Structure 1
Amino acid sequence: MAGTPRLSVHSFGAAIDLNVRMSAYWKWEGYAEGQRGIRHRNQIPAALVNIFERHG
């Protein structure tokens, strides 16, 4: 993950980004890595998330 020593799930081919205008990334919001209390603000439709989760 940019600016951290960690690898993202993307680096393993296990994640993709969909319409980043509708998603929220903790670093874009000014949070620090490992910070607690980060509010979930993802706007990707739940139906789409469920389809991806159902198919692993």
Structure 2
Amino acid sequence: MKNVQEIRADIEKLYKEIDLLEEKIISIQSNCNHEFKGDTYYQTCVLCKKVRPLYF
């Protein structure tokens, strides 16, 4: 069984991996030729899943 320090270290590694994946998403979405589809409240790009709100 892992101790608290090992669990926290695992959590920190996962946070870093999430940060890297979020950076990849931003890169993909910024280089996408968006094709938005949706309704009157929001649209989602069918290629990269970026959401564009239309109503606040």
TM-score bin (small chain): under 0.3
TM-score (norm 2): 0.21
| Larger proportion of strand | 2
TM-score, L = length of structure 1: 0.21
The higher radius of gyration belongs to 2
Q: Which has the higher contact order (CA 8 A, sep 6+)?
A: 1
